[in-house]
């Protein structure tokens, strides 16, 4: 038999708002309908309807449906915030990420303006991964807390039963497990009002049967059932189904099946989005870089928490800004290696914004993370353990933030014959197969005492070469002077002629010398058609 779990976040609009603005925790907060106006003006609309209230505001008598002026009349110190659709959508996606860490079959509930935070998941067989169903529910609650939500969770045979139980669990701050085959017995003693979370959706989705059963809202249906003496779900399930259909139409039949624990609605599974998005609307336009980075860091923090739930890392960011003048601009943040280091990602974002700052104050920010598989650390039986790949990815990200993306990479030899020519290709972490090849190469390397390991001088190339003054005596180098070095020539070898790219307009014709000077250094010099240069130092 299939088993369904339901994860519910009570007061979801408030929870999503506090997730993006943690300073509002513990304050009496209400969320009102913005009515299509700017965020900064929405709270000033006295007749805007209240959509959601915090527990602190509810204790002061504020309820959804009141206007802003009515709510402020009941409690003058309320914090009024318009509905933040960016934060609401991000919170709904984050709940899906929590569910996807347990199951691959997930159904989210709610539209753009819906303030309900509910997600269903098929957990058939998933209990084995957590030893017990209780362990699975505890994992869901802990992972929801990790992304900033306090959620209630329940498991049952029917999706609707799991939703009703999860709503009760969210109010009590606990998890509820309905025994297999026990949905009807668990539902029977519940009051009729327990149908509310699912009945609103049923009455909204299903219409009536023409004149006999016009479309009704759940409060209207509940009031009529109460007049008939229906107080518990067992009373509703005891009615003849034909009479319920005759009076209430298709919604009544569906509610009857839910109350009887016989609703077989399937799970409308939708795969989670590949890209992770976090966003927030700002109360006032931001014009300073530091204020903007404070907001960006919060978005990146939440994105990284969601990436870790999926076992992934961030391969890139796309920052989107809505400006005061109505324009929307984007900044792409490249990451050399997938990482979950928040500090490095914020540094990279800072560099991208500083390179092309927005031309107007910012009213909304959205950050999109491009996920990628984090490279696992495959240990080698014949080599000592090296640094974890995650630390190397973090170091690359920080270097790119400090030095610039174009200066970090793997050196490659470009086409041509000039000794100083080089190029950079994007740095890629070695695959496990490459590591094993590296281990065999090291094993095959010559041991101490082999003539191939004899100590020798290493040339440290100077890029760019330093201009030098060279004094000759009888055609031999006698004295060399250059920035940072100089002295009499104690010995010299050369010249070695290089004649490269003679077929092009930028032919390379040089004479190279190796010179030991009285300052104790050994240097490589070359002379082209114009002057002398110090090309390298032997260490």
Domain spans of the chain? 4-184, 188-259, 276-401, 459-538
Question: What pLDDT shows up at residue 428?
Answer: 63
Architecture of domain 4-184: 3-Layer(aba) Sandwich (3.40)
DSSP state of 535: E
**Alpha carbon distance 218, 204 (integer Å):** 8
Tokens of 414: 């470009």
pLDDT for the residue 355: 84
Residues in a beta bridge with 29? 79
Q: 17: Cβ–Cβ under 8 A, 6 or more apart, which residues?
A: 24, 29, 31, 81, 84, 87
Report the distance separating Cα 98 and Cα 8, nearest Å: 12
CA–CA distances in Å: residue 424 to residues 316, 409, 428, 462: 20, 5, 12, 17
Distance set, CA 536 to CA 150, 514, 531 (Å): 63, 9, 16
pLDDT digits (tens, 9 = 90+) for 125-177: 887 788 888 999 999 999 999 988 999 999 999 999 999 999 899 888 889 99
Omega of the bond leading into 464 within 30 degrees of 0 (cis): yes
CATH architecture for residues 276-401: 2-Layer Sandwich (3.30)
**What is the reported pLDDT for 83?**
87
Model confidence pTM above 0.95: no
Regions of the chain short of the pLDDT cut 70: 35-45, 110-115, 204-215, 375-379, 385-390, 427-456
Contacts of residue 294, defined as CB under 8 A and 6 or more positions apart, other chains included, come to none
Torsion-angle region of residue 48: left (phi > 0), alpha (psi -120 to 50) or beta? Answer: beta
- What is the rounded distance in angstroms from the CA atom of residue 380 to the CA atom of residue 376? 13
CA distance 437 to 417: 30
Question: Which of helix, strand or coil describes residue 524?
Answer: strand
* pLDDT at 188 (0 to 100): 92
Q: What is the pLDDT of residue 161?
A: 92
Give the pLDDT score at 109: 73
pLDDT of residue 418: 78
């Amino acid at each position: 038999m299939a088993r369904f779990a339901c994860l519910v976040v009570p007061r979801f609009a408030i929870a999503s708002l506090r997730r993006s603005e943690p300073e509002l925790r513990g304050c009496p907060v209400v969320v009102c309908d913005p009515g299509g106006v700017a965020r900064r003006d929405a709270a000033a609309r006295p007749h805007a309807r209240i959509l959601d209230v915090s527990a602190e505001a509810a204790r002061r008598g504020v309820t959804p449906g009141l206007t802003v002026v009515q709510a402020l009349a009941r409690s003058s110190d309320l914090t009024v915030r318009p509905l933040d659709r960016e934060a609401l959508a991000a919170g709904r996606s984050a709940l899906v990420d929590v569910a996807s860490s347990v199951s691959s079959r997930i159904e989210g509930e709610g539209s753009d303006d819906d303030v309900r935070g509910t997600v269903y998941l098929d957990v058939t067989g998933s209990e084995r991964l957590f030893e017990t169903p209780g362990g699975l529910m505890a994992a869901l609650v802990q992972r929801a807390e990790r992304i900033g939500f306090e959620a209630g969770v329940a498991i049952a045979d029917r999706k609707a039963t799991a939703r009703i139980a999860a709503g009760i669990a969210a109010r009590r701050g606990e998890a509820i497990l309905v025994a297999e085959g026990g949905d009807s017995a668990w539902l029977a003693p519940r009051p009729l009002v327990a149908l509310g979370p699912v009945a609103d959706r049923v009455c909204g989705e299903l219409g009536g049967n023409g004149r006999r059963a016009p479309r009704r809202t759940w409060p209207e249906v509940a009031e009529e059932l109460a007049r008939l003496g229906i107080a518990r779900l067992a009373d509703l399930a005891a009615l003849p189904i034909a009479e319920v259909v005759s009076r209430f139409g298709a919604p009544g039949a569906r509610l009857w099946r839910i109350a009887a624990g016989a609703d077989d609605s399937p799970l409308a599974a939708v795969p989670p989005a590949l890209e992770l998005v976090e966003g927030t609307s700002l109360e006032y336009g931001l014009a300073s870089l530091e204020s903007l980075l404070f907001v960006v860091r919060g978005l990146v923090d939440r994105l990284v928490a969601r990436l870790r739930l999926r076992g992934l890392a961030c391969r890139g960011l796309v920052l989107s800004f809505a400006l005061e003048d109505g324009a929307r601009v984007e900044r792409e943040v490249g990451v050399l290696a997938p990482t979950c280091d928040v500090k490095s990602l914020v540094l990279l974002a800072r560099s991208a914004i500083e390179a092309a700052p927005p031309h107007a104050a910012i009213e909304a920010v959205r950050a999109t993370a491009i996920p990628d598989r984090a490279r696992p650390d495959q240990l080698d039986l014949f080599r000592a353990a090296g640094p974890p790949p995650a630390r190397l990815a973090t170091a690359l990200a920080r270097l790119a933030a400090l030095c610039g993306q174009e200066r970090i990479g793997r050196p490659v030899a470009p086409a041509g014959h000039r000794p100083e020519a080089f190029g950079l290709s994007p740095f890629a972490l070695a695959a496990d197969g490459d590591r094993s090849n590296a281990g065999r190469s090291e094993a095959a390397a010559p041991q101490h005492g082999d003539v191939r390991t004899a100590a020798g001088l290493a040339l440290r190339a100077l890029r760019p070469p330093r201009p030098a003054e060279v004094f000759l005596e009888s055609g031999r180098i006698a004295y060399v002077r250059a920035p940072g070095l100089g002295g009499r020539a104690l010995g010299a070898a050369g010249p070695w002629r290089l004649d490269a790219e003679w077929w092009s307009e930028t032919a390379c014709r040089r004479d190279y010398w190796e010179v030991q000077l009285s300052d104790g250094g050994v240097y490589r010099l070359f002379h082209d058609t114009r002057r002398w240069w110090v090309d390298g130092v032997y260490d």
